[in-house]
Every structure is written in structure tokens, then in C-alpha cells.
């Protein structure tokens, strides 16, 4: 199959890529027939299988976290990019490879942060729900006699809900930090949200 970028034959899993692996070079339609090394081919295959495939499939958790291996593969690909700088097809291929492995590592990091944020949000939602449900509210009456009944619902004002969402529940006995509370108040007012009703 003809490669539209450089006019070469072969594919990523075929050693005839760009004229074969190992050996000499020759002309092909006015362009040099470059030969990538076994190490360069193995680097391409490893990066595709272990990094960019997971990036494309959104299976970020399967991207390897061995930073030393990442640096070694990236160095091989980057050195190949420099080595073949006078051949656009190979230079672009290895630049895409360098960008791909870098993007995969970045995606792994972002995915990890996203999971941590989701865990924190779930925790804070649970804390807020406990407060709303009155877990930390002392009962005013332990017993009711007759048909008279009383219930109390606690609803936090948006000012305090957003504060807890951003900074967590204040330490018992310490209370809300007035400076942080003022920042949340300003943000709510600037967003058109009533800080005391809702």
C-alpha cells in the first residue's frame, strides 16, 4: 500500500516500513529510502500498544506509570525525529509518536486528578447531606406525648453550602473562616445567586 505522506510502502506492523528494518538505503522516486532500526520500530510499536491505544480508547488507567520507561521511549522517538529530520514522512511520524506518548502520560495524570476530585465531591455531598438531614442537630424534645408532633428541617443557606463545597466542613469549635466566607459571598453575589435564600 502506498503511504500518501512519503510515497513509501508498508505499515506499522510490517518490517518493510520505509524500506525495511536494518540494511542500506537507496533511492525511490527522488527520495531516499530510509531504513528505521529495530529499536525505532520496537519503540513505535510499544508506544502505540501501551500508550496511544489506551489514550484513544479512553482506558487511561491502563497507561503504564513507569516514568523511566516513558523517558526511554520518548528519547528513542525524539532522537529518531532528529535523525530523520530531512525526511518529512519519518520526521512527522516520530513527532506524532513523541506527542502521543506525552499526551498519554498527561491524560493519565488528568484522569487521576479527575478521580480524586470525584471522590472528594462525593464525600462533600455526603457531608452536606448529613448536615441537611440534621445529623449534627441536638433534639429539642426527646419524647412527644399525645397527638402533638414536631419536626425540624435544616436547610443551609447557599452561602454555607458553597463554602462547604469549596473548603470543607469547618472544624468543630472553630466555625466558618470569615475571610473565606466573604470570598464565597462575593462570588455568589457576582453570579446573581442569593446567598441567603435557596
Q: Is residue 172 part of a domain?
A: yes
Q: What is the pLDDT of residue 86?
A: 93
Q: Is residue 191 part of a domain?
A: yes
* Pair 30, 87 in one domain: yes
Q: What is the pLDDT of residue 175?
A: 82
Q: What is the pLDDT of residue 186?
A: 79
Query: Residues 2, 16: contact at Cβ < 8 Å?
Result: no
Q: What is the pLDDT of residue 149?
A: 59
* Pair 105, 55 in one domain: yes
Q: What is the pLDDT of residue 150?
A: 59
On the CB side of 95, CA atoms within 13 Å amount to: 9
What is the mean pLDDT for each group of 10 consecutive residues in the chain (198 residues)?
37 43 41 79 97 94 91 96 94 96 93 76 75 65 58 74 82 80 78 78
Domain count, the chain: 2
* Pair 43, 94 in one domain: yes
In three-state secondary structure terms, 104 is helix
Expressed as residue numbers, the domain containing 108 is 17-114
Amino acid at each position: 500500500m502506498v503511504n500518501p505522506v512519503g510515497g513509501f510502502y508498508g505499515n506499522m506492523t510490517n518490517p518493510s516500513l520505509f524500506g525495511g528494518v536494518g540494511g542500506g538505503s537507496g533511492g525511490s522516486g527522488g527520495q531516499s529510502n530510509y531504513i528505521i532500526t529495530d529499536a525505532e520500530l520496537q519503540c513505535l510499536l510499544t508506544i502505540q500498544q501501551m500508550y496511544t491505544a489506551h489514550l484513544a480508547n479512553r482506558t487511561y488507567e491502563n497507561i503504564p506509570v513507569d516514568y523511566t520507561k516513558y523517558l526511554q521511549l520518548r528519547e528513542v522517538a525524539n532522537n529518531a525525529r532528529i535523525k530523520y529530520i530531512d525526511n518529512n514522512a519519518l520526521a512527522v511520524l516520530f513527532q506524532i509518536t513523541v506527542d502521543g506518548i506525552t499526551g498519554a502520560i498527561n491524560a493519565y495524570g488528568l484522569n487521576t486528578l479527575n478521580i480524586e476530585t470525584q471522590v472528594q465531591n462525593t464525600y462533600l455531598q455526603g457531608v452536606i447531606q448529613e448536615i441537611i438531614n440534621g445529623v449534627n442537630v441536638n433534639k429539642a424534645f426527646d419524647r412527644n406525648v399525645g397527638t402533638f408532633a414536631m419536626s425540624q428541617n435544616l436547610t443551609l443557606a447557599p452561602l454555607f453550602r458553597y463554602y462547604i463545597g469549596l473548603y470543607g466542613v469547618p472544624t468543630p469549635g472553630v466555625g466558618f473562616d470569615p475571610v473565606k466566607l466573604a470570598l464565597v459571598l462575593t462570588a455568589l453575589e457576582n453570579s446573581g445567586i442569593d446567598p441567603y435564600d435557596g
